[in-house]
Every structure is written in structure tokens, then in C-alpha cells.
Structure 1
Amino acid sequence: MADAASRLTALAEELLGAPPPIRIRAWDESESGPADGPVLVIGHPRALRRLLWKPGELGLARGWVAGEIDVEGDLYEALEALAGLIWERSEPGPGLRSLGDPRLRSAVRELLALAGPRFWLPVPPPAEEVAARRGPLHTKARDRQAISHHYDVGNAFYEQVLGPSMVYSCAYWRDGGSLEDAQRDKLDLVCRKLALREGDRLLDVGCGWGSMAIHAAREYGAQVTGVTLSREQAAYARKRIAEEGLTDRIEVRVQDYRDVKDGPFDAISSIGMAEHVGSVRYREYADVLYGLLKPGGRLLNHQIARRPEQDEAAYRVDDFIDAYVFPDGELAPLGRTLSILEEAGFEARDVESLREHYARTLRAWVANLESDRRRAVRHSSPGRARIWRLYMAASAVAFERNRIGVNQILAVKSRDGGGSGMPLRARNWNDADGR
């Protein structure tokens, strides 16, 4: 097919209402578009068939996962260039989702011609896509399946991406520090906000590979119960805890937080877990945690948020992330999360945005993955390594461009009479005494 790149450029302009901001190279080695910067490589016409059958982000993502779409050059620069055209359009043009619009028949005919003679045949999704899901959202059984898809992919893969800290949430950066330093500082910030003291009972909801539990027990003398739905995480955490000599201070369970019955606790940490809860269960989540705290107890809720939307369905994560990364995940606006926590009885005492910290953390994780891609593939699969690279890089750009944010909410279950036990200077966490 002669000069497929020029035809793709013209087609993209017709569908999106503006010329592509980066250069395109097609499967016939033809190129079109700006001479400088990254190159979007469409390596096989099969990628266009995917768009015909699944217009929009998911079709593009399937092409990426299959290796039919790639970026040559700086991936972040490419994502930045495409963001304003695809994800952040204030006045959307026809768009890839409107391929069935009769007004776009000429564009569709061109896409069919480029896709090749077998365009009518659907292309099976590449591996690692979430299998068909059954039943209502956020039942215990469905949540277990979703968590297993994301976390039970091999601890060795996460060791490479996350580094020695094994913390899968945003770090707390200071100038000149390493990722490990920044993750340690984040865990310490959480412990100080919770005012942990020797002998306090801490419930760590979504305890991951045990890093928060270990820090709280080792540095603050807390008695920690960690719960996770991932068996691989739990096994890894228990091994680390034994190596630290902390088995008398930490218990890790494979358990749904809704099944925890041995409260009350002095404090609860929930770091990067509430994104899995979903809007239909969030009030239940808040009620359960409130009921598990002692009067005067504190909750530290560390959670990604999206910008406010009129439509609650928009809280669902993007199609690519739902299909390949975080099944059934939802990102609510900060205000909604605060309102539900308050409705459950909590008093919100502090909110701290860490948006820029998460962007920097994600870039560090991408650098870890890219430092040895062959190793990443060996510990997972080619598709999985491509998925994580795109999802983390795209998420970094989303945080930097303020499409999403992340916040730590410190909330208190008041004592009888309304006392909070909080210091007068709320941000001087080292000065938190008495509850």
C-alpha cells in the first residue's frame, strides 16, 4: 500500500479535527508529520482493525499491548503531545468513538481500505486483558478476582519496578533523595499523622508487601494487623516480617477488610487501597473503618482522585486501565470522598495533596522497568511489561497535567464530648500527643 503514513495522517485529521502533533511511521516504512520529536509507529494494519472493532482508547491500547503500535523516541513527549488532542479536548471533534456516524462515511471507508481485506474479522484481544466479569460490582468474590489480576503477577516483577522499598503508592520526595528515601519518608509521614506510639494497635488495610506494617512496628512499636486480598503479597510480606524479627508485632491476613471483626484499633492506614472500593461500596467502606476505630482513633486515607465530573459513571478508570491494569477501579473527586467520610461520622482534620510527588514516583518506576526490559519480560511477559510501561508513563503525565491527583486525608473518630486529641498546630505532626 503506497504511502500509508500520509493517508493515516489525513484520516487522523478528519477524525480528530486537527493534524496529528507527532510524526507517523506506517508498516510500509512511509512517514508523515513533524520532523522533530517522537515518532508514532503503526507497525501493522491489524492495529486499525482493532480501532474499527473497539474505537477509542481501548482499541489503541490493544494495538500497543500487541506491539502493533509503538513510540520511537521519548514516550512522555509523545503522550504530552497527544494529551491535548485526545484526552483533554474542551470541544471534542468527531473522535474515534464516532466511527459509526454517517457524516464520517468517507473517513470510515478510508480506514477500511487501510485495515486490509479482512477488516470485517474481529481481532482477539492480546494477552493479559481481564477476562469477562460476572455479577455486581465490588462483591467480595469479584474484588478478589480484580485484586488477583493486578497484584498476583509475580513478586519478582514488582521488585524490579518498585525497588527495595516495595511500596506501591506515591513517595514523599525531598530534594536529592532516592526513591527508597522518599518511600521511607512517606511511611514515616503516615505514622506521624496517625500519632503512633508503643503498643498502639494499627490496622493496615490493603497492606501490600508489608512495608507500612514493618515501618510502624519497627520504628514506632505498633502492633499491626495487615489485610490484603493478594496471596502472593501476603506470602512475601510474611517472609519479610520474619526476616525483620517482627512476627510478634505483625500479623498479615488474606482477608477482606469487611471481614475484620477484632477491633477496636487505635489507628487505621489505608494507602492506595480505596481506589478499588468503588462508589457503590464507599459508604460501607467508611462505616466499616469508623466502626473498627476506638474513640479518638485516627484514619489516614491515601487515595487517588480525579477531577469532578457531572456523570458519576466518569469515576470509572479509563478503558485501557480497566481492561489491563486495575479492573473495576474507580476514582472519585476529593470532595465526594470527604463528604462520605464525614457522613460516616469522621471528622476530617487535614488534607494534603501529593500530586506532583506521584508524578515523580511514577517516572522513577518507569526508569526501573526500562533499566532492564528483558528482565521485566522474564519476570512477567512481553505484554505485561508493555502494559505497565504505558500505564505508568501515561499516569505520570496525567498527574503532571492535573487530570488526576492524590491526597492524604487524616480523619478522626471523636471521643465522647467531641474531643479529637489533635494538637492545636495540625501540621506539626511530631507534636501530636494525647488522645
Structure 2
Amino acid sequence: MTEASTKHKSTETINRNHLHRMMDELLEIADVRLGGDRPWDIRLLVDGVPERVFAQGNLGLGESYMNGAWECDRLDELFDRILRARLDRHVKPLRLMFHSLRAKLLNRQTSRQAWEVGEAHYDLGNDFYTAMLDPRMTYTCGYWADAKNLAEAQEAKLDMICHKLRLEPGMRVLDIGCGWGSFMAYAAEHYGVECVGVTVSKEQTAWATERYADLPLEFRLQDYRSINERFDRIASVGMFEHVGRKNHRSYMEVAHRCLADDGLFLLHTIGKNRRKSTTDPWIDRYIFPNGELPSIGQIGDACDELFVVEDLHNFGADYDNTLMAWHANFEQAWPHFEDELGQRFHRMWRYYLLSCAGAFRARDLQLWQWVLSKDGVRGGYQRPEGPR
């Protein structure tokens, strides 16, 4: 070995040790230890994890986990601690500056790009989602106030939406981003309405059309921007996260033109606490391409002069229970999908569900239901107390 190569290797070792100490000190703020034996501690299995974290932030952390470079018994508890300590604000890699600028300057949710998330995420397979979700295939936050399990939490949420919308028999309802049709079916079965739902997922459209052939429901493979019909009520449950800040106003204009003058519009969406933050790069690459969480101010800006905000309800803490229930179902069903999807997918999906559970537990993410009207409900709007 030459003197130059020896010096180079020595420098690499010094840098590696320095980054290891930096990561150790940073994690200590969140009461997380490298090599510790508590459920939320991190065990490094190969070299290079600190280097990737400081170079790429959560993208490097998540990819390292997917590749088996580190382990943690309770990822949900790890991320709860990391995010409560706001460690994500301490690591700002220069390599991610392009990701941040692209998210701020470009419209990544155009009518052409909007279909990408359907193909990449929602078309993963109906059998897969059947195994993970509740019997109604509801892929949004449940309402756990009086629920004992996932199915009860989802039915309570669906009934709460129907109450908030003041549904009555014979009404025509639009569901923007209808998923597998759980809200539409529940509303038709229990409140006697007819519904039209739009989604960018072929798998969702085919599954829902077949399952609910006996109900007055129409499922369309359609981008929301092309809807131009009148409805008595509108619901959008877990779709606004794919709209993007460049399109928030256009989305609200579509809802405004489609809503009857005396109608109500319920918007159910995950939200972020900081207006100027950008999409997590790992989530963007591996889970929800082109997604972008709104802030409460951005939604308010988009509603300006279009809607009166009648009610705003935050039950984001309930997403922790929902995600943990999905994770339990996923792990139980995993042997049926292992050969098809492989170990790297298993670690990716576990990281997705549990890191998000930790984020909601830390109150770093929120879940809002907005009730909107065009001109204000005469006499005022009263939020229903609970399921009927």
C-alpha cells in the first residue's frame, strides 16, 4: 500500500468516526442511542449509514433501512422521538436543495403527472390492500373516539362525514378521489344518496365498479380538473395531498363550480405545520410520487372568496392508531406476498407505515376535515356531536 493510499484511508476513517460521533450526539437530543438495547434505539449493521444520513437526510436514512444497513425494533417510537426533538431541522443536506427548489418552483401535479401516483401506489394490487385495510377498503384515517378496532373506526369516520354533509335521500354526491368507494357505498347504503366518484387508479375503478354494481354509484377513471357537473354535496377524502400547491386554487375552483349554491363540501386531508416545508424526499421517491401536504394557510388561501369555512376539525392523533392497525394487518399478511414483492419492499412498506405513525404521534402531521359552503349556512353551521 502506498503512502498516499494510506493517508487517504486514514482520512476516510477520521471522517467516518467524526460523522458517527455527530450522529450519536444528534440522536442523544431525542434520547436515541446508536447500538442501544431499547426498542427505539438504532443498531448499525454496516458502515456508511451516518455518511448517507448527513448527505441525504431522510432519503439516505430510509434507503439505508430498506437495504438492511440498520435495524430498530420500534420504528414508530424512533420517529416519534426524532420528530418531537425536531432533528429533521438539524440535518439539511445540500444534495436535497434541488429537490426543495423543484417542489417550490415546478408544478409536479399537472393533469399528465397526476396519473403517476395511481400507477405507482394505488395500483399496487387490490389483494394487497384488501389484506391491509378494513373490510370496506378505506385508505384514510379512522375516527377512534369510541372504536375498538379498525373496522369500527372507519365506519365511525364515514358516518361522521355523512353527518357533517347533512346528507338526505335523493341527493347527488361527488367524491373527488374516491379510492375503492368506501364513502360512496356507505353513504348510498345508509343515507339513500347516489354518488359519482373519480380516481386516477385503474385498479380502484375496476374493483369498486364490480363490488358495488347493485348501488347507485358511478366510478370514473378521471382527473378532477375535467369534472363539470352540479352536485348537492361534495366530499374529498384523502386526495388533496396529491393536488400540490400550484393547483390548490384550481382544485377549489372545480369544487366551487360543481357544488350547488346551497351545498356543502367536506375536505378531508393530511396537513403539515409549516407552510414553507417541502415533501419528504423518501416518501416522494418510494411511496407517493409528486405528493405534497398542504398547510392550513395554503388551504385558506385557496378558499379565499370561493368558500366560507363552516367547520375545521383536527383528529390527526387518530392516524397513529390507524397506521399501527394497517401495519399489524400488513405484517400478518406478509407471508402471502413475500415471494412476489421481496424483502426490500417489506422493509420499505414497514418504514412507510411506522415512520408515518411516529410522525402523527409526535403531532408533526395533522388530519383536518374542513366543511365549506359557498355563501355561508344561514343561521350558522353546527357540527354533529357524533355518529347517529
Fold conserved between structures, TM > 0.5: yes
User: What is the Cα deviation at residue 42 of structure 1?
Assistant: 2.8
Aligned counterpart, 2:192: 221
Instruction: Provide the residue aligned with 2:5 in structure 1.
Output: none
Q: CA deviation at 1:88?
A: 5.0
- How far off its partner does 1:47 sit? 4.9
Q: Distance in 1 between matches of 2:253 and 2:341?
A: 38
What amino acid is aligned across from residue 115 of structure 2 in structure 1? Answer: R
Partners of 2:18 and 2:48 lie apart in 1 by: 19
Measure, in 2, the Cα distance between the counterparts of 1:409 and 1:307: 16
Q: Following the alignment from structure 2 to structure 1, what is the Cα–Cα distance between the partners of residues 338 and 164? A: 39
Q: Structure 1 residues 394 and 9, CA, compared in 2 at 3 Å: closer, same or farther?
A: farther
Partner Cα distance (2:20, 2:144) in 1: 40
Q: Please, which of 273, 294, 307 is the counterpart of residue 260 of structure 2?
A: 294
TM normalised by structure 2 equals 0.85
Structure 1 residue 173: deviation in Å? Answer: 1.1
State the secondary structure of the residue aligned to 1:62: helix
- Aligned counterparts of 2:222 and 2:38: Cα–Cα separation in 1: 52
Q: Is the 8 A contact 1:154 1:380 kept in 2?
A: no
Match of 2:141 among 170, 177, 182: 170
* 2:222 aligned partner: 255
Measured in 2, the distance between the counterparts of 1:85 and 1:173 equals 27
- Native 8 Å contact 2:19 2:50 kept in 1: no
Q: Which residue of 1 aligns with 2:93?
A: 97
AA matched with 1:145 = E
Distance 1:339 1:257 in 2: 20
> Which residue, 233, 257, 281 being the options, matches 1:319?
281
Q: Which amino acid aligns with 1:393?
A: L
1:129 is matched with which residue?
Answer: none
User: Structure 1: 5+ residue runs without aligned partners?
Assistant: 2-6, 25-31, 100-134
Contact 1:193 1:429 in 2 (8 A): no
Q: Which amino acid aligns with 1:411?
A: L
Distance 1:85 1:349 in 2: 34
The verdict on how the C-alpha distance between 1:36 and 1:199 changes in structure 2, with shifts beyond 3 A counting, is: closer
Task: Provide the secondary structure at the position in 1 that maps to 2:93.
Answer: helix
**Which structure has the greater CA radius of gyration?**
1
Residue in structure 2 matched with residue 127 of structure 1 by the alignment: none
**How far apart, in 2, do the equivalents of 1:428 and 1:55 lie?**
46
CA RMSD of aligned residues (A): 3.0
SS for the counterpart of 1:348 is strand
Cα distance in 1 for partners of 2:71, 2:142 equals: 29
- SS state of the match for residue 63, structure 2? helix
Query: Larger RCO: Structure 1 or Structure 2 (Cα < 8 Å, ≥ 6 residues apart)?
Result: 2
Give the distance between the partners of 2:183 and 2:64, measured in 1 at CA.
Answer: 37
Using the TM superposition, give the Cα deviation of residue 80 of structure 1 relative to its aligned residue in structure 2, in angstroms: 3.2
Q: Distance in 1 between matches of 2:341 and 2:205?
A: 19
CA distance in 2, matches of 1:285, 1:176: 33
Matched, 1:275 2:241: yes
Match of 1:340 in 2: 302
1:41 corresponds to? 43
Amino acid at match of 2:162: C
* 8 Å CA contact retained: 1:349, 1:411: yes
Flag the 1:213–1:381 CA change in 2: closer, same or farther, 3 A. farther
Range moving further from structure 2, 197-206 or 334-343: 334-343
- Structure 2 distance, partners of 1:255, 1:15, is 46
Task: Supply the distance in 2 between the matched residues of 1:330 and 1:149 (Cα, whole angstroms).
Answer: 16
Number of residue pairs the alignment of both structures matches: 366
- The residue aligned with 1:121 is none
**1:32-431 to 2 correspondence within 5 Å?**
32=35, 34-45=36-47, 47=49, 50=52, 54-71=55-72, 73-83=73-83, 87=87, 92=90, 95=91, 97=93, 136-242=107-213, 245-246=214-215, 249-261=216-228, 263-309=229-275, 311=276, 314=277, 316-343=278-305, 345-378=306-339, 380-414=341-375, 420=377, 424=380, 426-428=382-384
Letter in 2 for 1:80: D
Q: 1:216 to 1:283 in 2, by over 3 A?
A: same
Q: Secondary structure at the match of 2:168?
A: coil
Corresponding letter in the other structure for 2:258? L
**Percent of matched pairs sharing the same residue:** 33
| 1:49-77 Cα deviation digits (max 9, x unpaired) | 7558x521111211112223322x22223
Report the alpha carbon displacement of residue 240 of structure 1 after superposing the two structures with TM: 1.3
User: Do the aligned residues in 2 keep the contact of 1:206 with 1:270 (CA within 8 Å)?
Assistant: yes
Query: Offset at 1:162?
Result: 1.1
Partner residue of 1:111?
A: none
**Which is worse superposed, 39-48 or 365-374?**
39-48
Check whether the contact 1:13–1:19 (CA below 8 A) recurs between aligned residues. no
Contact 1:214 1:250 in 2 (8 A): yes
Between the aligned partners of 1:44 and 1:201, the Cα distance in structure 2 is 57
- Say if 1:376 and 1:385, in contact at 8 Å, map to a contact too: no
* Aligned residue in 2 for 1:13: 21
SS in 1 for 2:311: strand
Look up the match of 2:102.
none
Q: Aligned-pair distance for 1:97? A: 2.3
Question: Deviation digits for residues 104-148 of structure 1, max 9, x if unmatched?
Answer: xxxxxxxxxxxxxxxxxxxxxxxxxxxxxxx84211111101232
- Whether the 8 Å contact between 1:192 and 1:429 is mirrored in structure 2 is no
Query: Would you say the 8 A contact 2:274–2:295 is kept in 1?
Result: yes
Give the direction of change, closer, same or farther, for the CA distance of 1:330–1:425 in structure 2 (3 Å limit): closer
Tell me, what secondary structure is at the counterpart of 2:154? helix
Structure 1 residues 287 and 360: alpha-carbon distance in aligned structure 2, compared to 1, 3 A threshold: same
Q: Judging by fraction of residues, say which structure has more helix.
A: 2
CA-to-aligned-CA distance 1:10-35 (integer Å, 9 cap, x gap): 633335744654444xxxxxxx4x44
